Amino acid sequence: MNAPLVLLDLDGTLMDSAPGITSSVAHAYRALGIPVPDDATLRTFVGPPITDSFPDHGVPPERTAEAVAAYREAFTAGGMFDNAVFDGVPDVLRALRDAGCTLLVATSKPEVYAKPICDRFGISDLVDGVHGAPLDEGTSTKADVIAAALAAQGRRSPVEPAEGPVLMVGDREHDVHGAAVHGVDCLGVSWGYAPPGELERAGAVAVVDEVPALAPAVRELLSAAL
């Protein structure tokens, strides 16, 4: 049997990346001459593919590529590093590794950004790999990212429990839905960017409210799957 595998979302789960993302999104709206959404709406951009979020919030579909280009202009100029690891997350990752878990970041953020961000903030040293979307996010879903992470570990989809337990940890509904495609449960975290009740409605197996409780919750769910 393989070691227990834990797939970890990045934005809103391991890192508070809202400042850099929301400021870059606001820049894109201003560049297009479209009114900038309110702060609550801007926060909903954190997590899902940016190519989905712009047309969902007032950007005409034919201008989505223009909006993405303007967003990335600000994001690569510094917004991508305007974030921070949530307090206690490094301790959680160390505890899970000490418990024998394989840890993989699985994020909808383009991998070309996710890897240097994880490198800059020390996440890469605490996990066994970083998997993200292609630069053209519109061609990828969270399920696709999870598929790549599973394949990198030689895991099949749907996941075969006899090969070792697998668990997703995330803060938005697309984490739950993407994991479900592969027969994987998702443990939600409430310190991210989901509106109240989103994770529960999506079918998260449980929701953790405090970072120190995450490692014990992950271990309990993995043990129950053995």
CB atoms within 10 A of CB 175: 34
- Which residues fall within 8 angstroms of residue 3, CB to CB, at 6 or more apart? 100, 101, 102, 164
Q: Is 175 a catalytic residue?
A: no
Contacts with 181 (C-beta within 8 Å, 6 or more apart), sequence order: 143, 146, 157
Cβ atoms of 132 and 115 within 8 Å: the answer is: yes
Among 9, 16, 171, 175, the one annotated catalytic: 9
Residues in the chain: 226
Q: Which residues, other chains included, contact 127 with Cβ-Cβ below 8 Å and sequence gap of 6+?
A: 8, 93, 103, 104, 105, 118
Alpha-carbon distance 147 to 205, whole Å? Answer: 20
Q: Which residues are catalytic?
A: 9
